């Protein structure tokens, strides 16, 4: 292990916008007897520390990416960790509508949480959730988040007990809107993407692990389908590719059999540990 310590990524959710099963109980092609087919909406917890023991002791810097409608359940399942900062990939409901659940995190911390996002996402969230960012007239409740603009290609540092964590944003296409891809050291995360410009591929150079959208088998107007995601992974060539944003027609075991070496479907609760300096994958949970 290098002196830089480790980065751990935990998949809090890897399901498509309706989750698996959907609220009407529809599992689609997914086998309900396979626990890895139960999927909450897409979110990722990234932690940095000197070692796994340090992370367990709370000596960690933690970044939460997106606040899904399932956020409360996701953070409880992760052990209710302290969070040092948020990052939003875009403003869609499945990525943001659990935003009020950060209230308990803010109260525990005793200060607003910095929330990194692009300008368009910031404008949309201020309109939709104004009370999150500033106290409404006549209200006694303090604001919860400190909006921080993260531009395409910009790198910022997240401070915490585990040491500084470098966060970089790069723009990708998501149907009719732009969306932020996220890079944290040797790890990249693009849960909602259907197109990647050359600047995005440049930002992906050298990643060891890439968690990437692969919604379904057939092409989709705003998400990568399986074939496209696999083509991207072949081009970027990370040591590990994890497929996320999986719809109800993406059965875990069936998809696992279709994946080439070095590529796997994600599942809720999956943990990936990397050397923060070299990017070497130290541990990844079994398929």
Question: CB-side exposure of 135: number of CA atoms within 13 Å?
Answer: 7
| Three-state DSSP class for residue 216 | coil
Q: Is the bond leading into 164 cis (omega within 30 degrees of zero)?
A: no
Residue owning tokens 């970044």: 63
What pLDDT, in 10s, does the model give residues 71-82?
999 999 999 999
In the predicted model, what is the mean pLDDT of residues 150-170? 97
- Measured CA to CA, the distance from residue 248 to residue 113 in angstroms comes to 34
CA 38 vs. chain centroid, Å, equals: 17
* 1, pLDDT greater than 90: no
| Domains of the chain with bracketed CATH | 6-277 (3.60.15.10)
What pLDDT, in 10s, does the model give residues 8-26?
999 999 999 999 999 999 9
Residue 159, both tokens: 């401070």
| Three-state DSSP class for residue 64 | strand
pLDDT in the model for residue 140: 86
* 244, pLDDT greater than 70: yes
Q: Considering the chain, what percentage of its residues have pLDDT values greater than 70?
A: 99
Residue 271, both tokens: 């943990």
The pLDDT mean for the chain works out to 97
């Amino acid at each position: 292990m290098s002196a830089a310590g480790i980065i751990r990524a935990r998949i809090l959710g890897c399901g498509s916008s309706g989750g698996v099963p959907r609220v009407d109980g529809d599992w689609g092609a997914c086998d309900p007897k396979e626990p890895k087919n139960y999927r909450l909406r897409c979110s990722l917890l990234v932690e940095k520390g000197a070692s796994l023991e340090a992370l367990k002791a709370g000596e960690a810097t933690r970044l939460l990416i997106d606040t899904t409608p399932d956020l409360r359940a996701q953070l409880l399942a992760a052990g209710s960790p302290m969070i040092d900062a948020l990052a939003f990939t875009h403003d869609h409901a499945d990525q943001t509508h659990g935003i009020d659940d950060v209230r308990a995190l803010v109260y525990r911390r005793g200060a607003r949480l910095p929330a990194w996002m692009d300008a368009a996402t910031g404008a949309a969230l201020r309109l939709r959730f104004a009370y999150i960012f500033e106290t409404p007239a006549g209200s006694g409740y303090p604001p919860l988040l400190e909006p921080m603009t993260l531009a395409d290609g910009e790198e910022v540092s997240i401070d915490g007990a585990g040491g500084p964590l470098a966060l970089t944003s790069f723009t990708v296409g998501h149907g009719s809107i732009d969306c932020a891809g996220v890079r944290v050291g040797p790890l990249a995360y693009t849960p909602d993407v259907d197109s990647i410009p050359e600047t995005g591929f440049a930002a992906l150079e050298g990643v060891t692990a890439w968690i990437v959208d692969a919604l379904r088998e057939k092409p989709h107007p705003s998400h990568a389908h399986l074939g496209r995601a696999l083509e991207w992974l072949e081009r970027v060539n990370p040591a590990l590719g994890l497929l996320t944003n999986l719809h109800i027609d993406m059965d875990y075991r069936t998809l696992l059999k279709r994946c080439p070496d070095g590529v796997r479907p994600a599942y809720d609760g999956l943990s990936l540990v990397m050397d923060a300096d070299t990017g070497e994958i130290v541990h990844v949970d079994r398929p």
